[in-house]
Amino acid sequence: MHIAKLKCAISIALLLAVAVPPRLVGEQHRKPRPEPLELLVVGSGGPRSFGRACTSYLLLIDGTPRILVDAGPGAFLEMGKLGVDLDNVDIVLLTHLHIDHSGDIPGVFLDRALTADGPIQFKVFGPQSGDQFPSTTEFLKLLFGPRGVYEYEKTFGADETIDGKDLLTALDSPETEIVSEGDLRVREVATHHGDCPSVAYRVEYKGKSITFSGDMDQSALPNLTRLAAGSDLLVFHVGVLDPPGSPQILYTLHTPPKQIGQAAEQAKARRLLLSHISPSIEDNRRQVLRSIANSYKGNVDLAYDGMRVPVSEAGEANRKTAAAGNQK
C-alpha cells in the first residue's frame, strides 16, 4: 500500500515538472531589471525642524545612485537609514545655497570619501554669487579649500577632487546643458528666490526626464515651464498656501499652489511631486491639492522621506488618473 502511494506521488511530481515551462524555472530568483531613471527622496522638508529631513534627492541611473540634488540638514542621517550606496555619486546639483538645501554637503562628502575604493571627482553645479551669498565655487572653497573650515576632509578618506561651476542667475539668462554623457543629459535655467540666487534643473536619461524647480517665486515660472516641458516627473517645492494663507513676505520666495498647478499643466508634466513640505502645507494638504487640481489634471503626490519614484511609473500614473476621470 505504501509502495503504491509512493509511486503515485512520484508520478504527480514528474507531471508537474514537465508541465512547468522551462522559462519559468528559477524565475522567482531572477533580479528585476533596474529602472533607467529613479528618484529617491532623501529629505522632503523645508527649513523648519518638525520630523522631516530638509530638501535632498538622489537620482538612480540604471539602479545606481549617481546624482545628488541638494543636501539639507538630515540628508546624511537619512542616507544612512536608507542604506544608500554613494560609491558612484559624482554629480551634485545645488538649486541654491540656503542652509536647508546645502547644510549637509560636508557630511555627505565625508561619507562618500570614507567608503570609496579609489579617487573621487565631484562635479558640483550651483548658482553664481549674489547679495549675502557666495558663488558655488566660493562656497566650496570656504568649506574644503586651503584654510577652509573642512580642508582636512579632502585628505581624510579617498583622494578627492571637487570641481565647481557657477551658473548664471539672471532670469533672462539662456538655458544651458551642463552634463552630456552618453544617454545622460542635465540642463539648467535661472529661477528667482528672493535675494538668494537660484536655478532649476532637468535630468534626462534614456527617454525619461525629471525636472526640479528648487525654491522659487512665480516670477520665474516662464523659465521653469519651458525647462519642464513634457517632463515625466516635475518635483515642485510648495512653501506657501494660496494668498492670503501665508505671511506676505513668503510670496517673494515661493510659488502658491494655484500657480504651481497652472505651471504643471502648461508644461504638460506627466506627474507632479510636491516637496519642501512645511507644517502649514502638512496641515492643509487637502486645500493645497484641491487648488492644484483646479488647473492640473495629472497625478499629484506629496513627497516623504525615503519615497522612491521610478520615472516609468509617471506615465502609468497619468494614464490611471485619466481613466478614472473618464469613468466618472
Has residue 271 got a pLDDT over 50? Answer: yes
Rounded CA-CA distance 96/319 in Å is 34
Vertex 76 angle, CA 73 and 78, to 5°: 95
Fold entry, domain 34-327:
Metallo-beta-lactamase; Chain A (3.60.15)
Rounded CA-CA distance 189/198 in Å is 9
Whole-number pLDDT of residue 114: 87
Residue type, 235: V
**75 in Cβ contact with 99 (< 8 Å):** no
Whole-number pLDDT of residue 137: 98
Which residues fall within 8 angstroms of residue 61, CB to CB, at 6 or more apart? 36, 37, 67, 184, 205
Domain boundaries, the chain: 34-327
Write down the mean pLDDT value for the chain.
88
When pLDDT is averaged across residues 224-229 and rounded to a whole number, the result is 98
The 3-state DSSP composition of the chain as helix, strand, coil percent (nearest 5) reads 35, 25, 40
Determine which of 20-24, 112-116, 213-217 has the lowest per-residue pLDDT on average.
20-24
User: What are the tens digits of pLDDT across the range 303-317?
Assistant: 999 999 999 865 554
Has residue 276 got a pLDDT over 80? Answer: yes
Q: What is the band of 154 on the pLDDT scale with cuts at 50, 70, 90?
A: confident
DSSP secondary structure letters along 134-194: --HHHHHHHHHSTT-TTTTHHHHSS-EEEEEEEE--STTSPPEEEEEETTEEEEEEE--BT
User: What are the tens digits of pLDDT across the range 37-93?
Assistant: 999 999 999 898 889 999 999 999 999 999 999 999 999 999 999 999 999 999 999
When pLDDT is averaged across residues 248-261 and rounded to a whole number, the result is 94
